[in-house]
A and B are shown apart, each in its own frame.
Chain A
Amino acid sequence: MEITEFAPITAAIGGALIGGAAVMLMALNGRIAGISGIVAGIMAPLRGEGRADFSWRLAFVAGLVLAPLIVGLFSQSLVAVATPHPLWMMAIGGLFVGYGVRLGSGCTSGHGVCGVARFSRRSIAATATFMATAIVTVLILHGLAGY
């Protein structure tokens, strides 16, 4: 198991940037910075739905992808990625996340940050739910299944 260190300062700076980006998108475009909704919107033309919001959504995702590349120019340690669980678990996890965020109308960003910041009852319930099942999943994987 990878051991990671508690890093409160970079966590607080990073969190403030995430919150700031969400406020910016609301102030300028009037939109919730929910990543799963944005990605689903990009795929909407595949289902024959409108592409009115296609370009801003794609631009947001482009910014997201670009960010670690820029950080990587200054610090390799900040862009270090370690995946403690096996590849098959990443794939099964992706399926659960993809289906779950669409059924539940949001993920960590849309519900966990933007929704809770608006004191939305739905988002608070969603965040409590996915936090709980994620913790139980890891407890089972590490405690019982031996991963």
Chain B
Amino acid sequence: MALRGIEMRTLSALVAGLIFGLGLTVSGMINPAKIISFLDIAGKWDPSLLVVMAAALAVASIGYRIVLSREKPAFEPSFSLPTNSVIDRPLIVGSALFGVGWGLAGLCPGPAIAAAALGHVEIYAFLIALVAGMLLKDGLKRA
């Protein structure tokens, strides 16, 4: 399905990305200080992230339930869902490494990309290293 050459699935992704980014921004999640205040349970704890996660999960779990009971998505022939259900070593080691980086920087991929146009050197340092880290893994997998 296309609207003057722009595919509907591209347009819908743009709007979804925009709403996702608005959510990250309004909740303060693009601010590394807020993430680190959440992770610092021994300091002046800021539980905002917990509320963000709880609200997102409430909406997504109910929404997914409704959506996934349908035959197919609006602009694609089928749902693309992960089928692997094994809790394996790469999952745990990778998530553990991700957590260390999250604690070091106070940033995960979504907020870092959302904050990309705000002009902070610290964010760019993170983003360049993020891409390097991803290529390090994916490059090794291909070789």
Chain A: residues with CB nearer than 8 A to chain B?
1-8, 10-33, 35-36, 39-40, 43, 46-47, 55-57, 59-72, 78-85, 87, 89-105, 107-109, 111-122, 125-127, 129-139, 141-143
Number of A-B contacts (CB under 8 A): 505
Of the candidates B16, B43, B68, B97, the one whose C-beta lies within 8 Å of that of A103 is B97
B133 cross-chain contacts in A, Cβ below 8 A:
94-100, 102
Q: How many residues of chain B get a CB closer than 8 Å to chain A's CBs?
A: 118
Least Cβ–Cβ distance between B53 and chain A, in angstroms: 6
Least Cβ–Cβ distance between A135 and chain B, in angstroms: 5
How distant is the Cα of A46 from the Cα of B132 in the complex, in angstroms? 13
Least Cβ–Cβ distance between B8 and chain A, in angstroms: 8
Q: When the two chains form their complex, are residues B136 and A14 in contact, meaning their CB atoms are under 8 A apart? A: no
- B7, closest chain A residue (CB): A55
Q: When the two chains form their complex, are residues A96 and B98 in contact, meaning their CB atoms are under 8 A apart? A: yes
- Given A10-B26, A12-B51, decide whether A90 and B105 contact each other with a Cβ distance below 8 A: yes
- Given A81-B123, A95-B132, A97-B130, decide whether A104 and B90 contact each other with a Cβ distance below 8 A: yes
B55 cross-chain contacts in A, Cβ below 8 A:
11-16, 18-19
Q: When the two chains form their complex, are residues A100 and B117 in contact, meaning their CB atoms are under 8 A apart? A: no
Q: When the two chains form their complex, are residues A1 and B138 in contact, meaning their CB atoms are under 8 A apart? A: no
Known contacts A26-B67, A94-B127, then 15 further A-B pairs from the complex at CB < 8 Å, ordered by chain A residue: A2-B33, A4-B46, A11-B49, A17-B26, A18-B27, A20-B23, A23-B64, A26-B73, A43-B134, A64-B114, A83-B106, A117-B61, A126-B92, A126-B94, A137-B103
- A98, closest chain B residue (CB): B133
- Given A64-B17, A65-B114, decide whether A21 and B67 contact each other with a Cβ distance below 8 A: no
Q: When the two chains form their complex, are residues A114 and B16 in contact, meaning their CB atoms are under 8 A apart? A: no
- Given A24-B12, A91-B126, decide whether A98 and B47 contact each other with a Cβ distance below 8 A: no
- Given A19-B59, A39-B134, decide whether A67 and B18 contact each other with a Cβ distance below 8 A: yes
Q: When the two chains form their complex, are residues A3 and B25 in contact, meaning their CB atoms are under 8 A apart? A: no
B17 cross-chain contacts in A, Cβ below 8 A:
21, 59-64, 66-67
Q: Mark B95-129, 1 if CB is under 8 A from A, else 0.
A: 11111111111111110111111101111011111
Of the candidates A14, A27, A87, A125, the one whose C-beta lies within 8 Å of that of B25 is A14
Q: When the two chains form their complex, are residues A4 and B53 in contact, meaning their CB atoms are under 8 A apart? A: no
B interface, over-half SS: helix
- Given A68-B25, A97-B102, decide whether A56 and B113 contact each other with a Cβ distance below 8 A: no
Q: When the two chains form their complex, are residues A129 and B73 in contact, meaning their CB atoms are under 8 A apart? A: no
How distant is the Cα of A127 from the Cα of B53 in the complex, in angstroms? 11
A63 cross-chain contacts in B, Cβ below 8 A:
13-21
- Given A22-B20, A23-B60, A27-B74, decide whether A96 and B104 contact each other with a Cβ distance below 8 A: yes
How distant is the Cα of A104 from the Cα of B98 in the complex, in angstroms? 8
